[in-house]
Amino acid sequence: MPHHPLSIPHLTSKIYTAKVMHHRLAPKKHSFWYNVYMFYIDLDEIDLLAEKLIWFSRNKFNLFSFRDSEHLQLPKENPDKAKTTRQHLETYLKGYGVDGTKLKIKLLTNLNVLGYNFNPVSFYFCFDENAMPVCCVAEISNTYREMKLFFFGKEELHSDIFKKITTKYFYVSPFIDHDDSFDFNLKVPADKLDIKIDDIDKTGKKFFFTTLKGDSRPITNANLLKCFFSIPLIPLQIMGMIHWQALRLWLKKLSFHPKAENPELQRNVYKPYKPQTK
């Protein structure tokens, strides 16, 4: 019988129990919040976690599973599915002049739950041998499972916060233009989680505010069960919440931007959506 300790010493991976808040100011006010939990996974600890925890696996069905295919895979004619998420990220970082092979990389994300997952946004925080932040990558996905990456280098690091304003050029919501801008304020996770991503319109005004705030707890078998039963099938609930809030906005008669409009405003998209044809 394998030994499954209540906790695993010396690991840096953890769980955050958190609250997400969305607040829209224009063209009509609309606000809501919901509870979540997210995992902060050291990419070098995934296999150890899978070995030591009952309810966690890698690329296999379990209560919680980390699946490399659900994260960054660089576009190729024949994708190398044997590569890990870390290896794909190292290749991506090389394009920005960063040698990721020597960095500690921690991923803030949702895990696959009972075979299903959806990640609106995940964050890779990268650290040097002195545990100092070097860079960050935001991995944003839409409901079509398309993905876009945003890179943050040392020039965007202010104390322990990565800050950047950049045009989206990506379809995230049918109620926000593709070419509005993101205002990122990504505090390096510690005991507390404090992430802010706001939207700025083409006049330079902020009209949509998003915050993610939470507290850390260790990854243990007991805490995995507590998280699961506190919000069962959380990825499915998040997907349902997105569509429910979209319906509320549609009923408020906000301008609707179909995904097929302005394809030229979608740039550098990974895993592009390909509708099935007969």
Per-residue pLDDT of 221-277, as tens digits, reads 999 999 999 988 877 777 777 666 666 766 676 777 777 777 888 888 887 766 654
For the cut 60, the answer to whether the pLDDT of residue 1 exceeds it is no
Q: In this predicted structure, what is the pLDDT of residue 18?
A: 94
**What pLDDT, on the 0 to 100 scale, is given for residue 220?**
95
Q: What is the pLDDT of residue 278?
A: 44
Whether 238 contacts 116, CB under 8 Å: no
Instruction: Say which range, 96-100, 116-120, 154-158, 191-195, has the weakest mean pLDDT.
Output: 116-120
Pick from 97, 56, 94, 61: nearest CA to 223: 56
CA angle 29/35/36 to nearest 5° reads: 120
- What does the pLDDT read at residue 76? 58
Compute φ and ψ for 94, nearest 5 degrees. -60, -30
User: What pLDDT sits at residue 197?
Assistant: 96
Q: How far apart are CA 147 and CA 246, in angstroms?
A: 20
Checking if the pLDDT of 92 tops 50, the result is yes
The per-residue pLDDT for range 174-218, each reduced to its tens digit, is 777 888 999 999 999 999 999 999 999 999 999 989 999 999 999
d(CA 269, CA 262): 14
Tell me the CB-side half-sphere exposure of residue 221, using CA atoms within 13 A: 11
Q: What is the pLDDT of residue 80?
A: 56
What Cα–Cα distance (Å) separates residue 125 from each residue in 13, 35, 140, 184, 266? 12, 23, 14, 14, 25
